Amino acid sequence: MLRVPLNQMLAIIIVSLAVGLFTNILRSDRIPILAQDLTQAENIDEVSGEPVAVTLAQAKSLFDNGVVFVDARDDEYFADGHIQNAWNSGFFMELMFKLDSLQSRDDGVVLYCSDDDCGSSEELANDLYNEGFTKLFVFEGGWLEWNESGYPVE
Amino acid sequence: MKNDLKNMLVLICRIFLGFLFIYASLEKILQPEEFAKQVGYYKALPFGLENLLAIVLPWTELIVGICLLAGLFVDGAALLSIIMMLVFILAISQAMLRGIDITCGCFKVSADSEKLGLHTIIRDIIFLIMSFVVLNRQERKFEYLPKYN
pLDDT tens for each residue of A91-131: 899 999 999 999 999 999 999 999 888 889 999 999 999 99
Whether the pLDDT of residue B61 is over 80: the answer is: yes
Which amino acid, one-letter code, is at B57?
L
The mean pLDDT value of chain B amounts to 93
A54 located within any domain: yes
Of B52, B73, B101, the CB nearest to A12: B73
Q: For residue A106, what are the domain limits?
A: 44-148
Check if B76 contacts A (Cβ < 8 Å): yes
- What angle do helix axes B32-41 and B2-30 make, rounded to 10 degrees? 100
Give the C-alpha separation, A18 to A26, whole Å.
Answer: 12
pLDDT tens for each residue of A47-92: 888 999 999 999 999 999 999 999 999 888 999 999 999 999 988 9
Pairing of strands A52-54, A136-139: parallel
Q: Name the band, by pLDDT with cuts 50, 70 and 90, for residue A2.
A: low
Give the C-alpha separation, A117 to B44, whole Å.
Answer: 9
A37 located within any domain: no
On chain A, the residues whose CB falls within 8 A of the CB of B109 are: none
* Per-residue confidence (pLDDT) for residue A117, from 0 to 100: 82
Cβ distance of A118 and B112 shorter than 8 Å: no
Burial B5-37 (b: 16+ CB within 10 A, else e): eebeebeebbeebbebbbebbebbbebbebbbb
Cβ distance of A12 and B75 shorter than 8 Å: no
* Per-residue confidence (pLDDT) for residue B111, from 0 to 100: 66
| ipTM value for the complex | 0.93
pLDDT tens for each residue of B4-20: 999 999 999 999 999 99
User: Tell me, what CATH number does A126's domain have?
Assistant: 3.40.250.10
Could you tell me the residue ranges of all domains in chain B? Answer: 2-135
Which amino acid, one-letter code, is at B142?
F
On chain A, the residues whose CB falls within 8 A of the CB of B95 are: 119
Give the C-alpha separation, B132 to B104, whole Å.
Answer: 24
Query: What pTM was computed for the model?
Result: 0.87
Cβ distance of B98 and A77 shorter than 8 Å: no
Cβ distance of A31 and B55 shorter than 8 Å: yes
For residues B40 and B54, is the Cβ–Cβ distance under 8 A?
no
Which of A8, A29, A73, A117 should be substituted to probe chain B, the one whose Cβ sees the most B Cβ atoms within 10 Å?
A: A8
CA torsion A114-A118-A124-A127 (nearest 10°) is: 170
CA torsion B13-B17-B20-B22 (nearest 10°) is: -140
Check if A66 contacts B (Cβ < 8 Å): no
Number of domains in chain A: 1
A8 located within any domain: no
The mean pLDDT value of chain A amounts to 93
Cis before residue B146, ω within 30 degrees of 0?
yes
A91 located within any domain: yes
Whether the pLDDT of residue A1 is over 60: the answer is: no
Q: In chain B, what percentage of residues exceed pLDDT 90?
A: 74
Q: B104 in helix, strand or coil?
A: coil
Check if A43 contacts B (Cβ < 8 Å): no
A138 located within any domain: yes
Q: Name the band, by pLDDT with cuts 50, 70 and 90, for residue B101.
A: confident
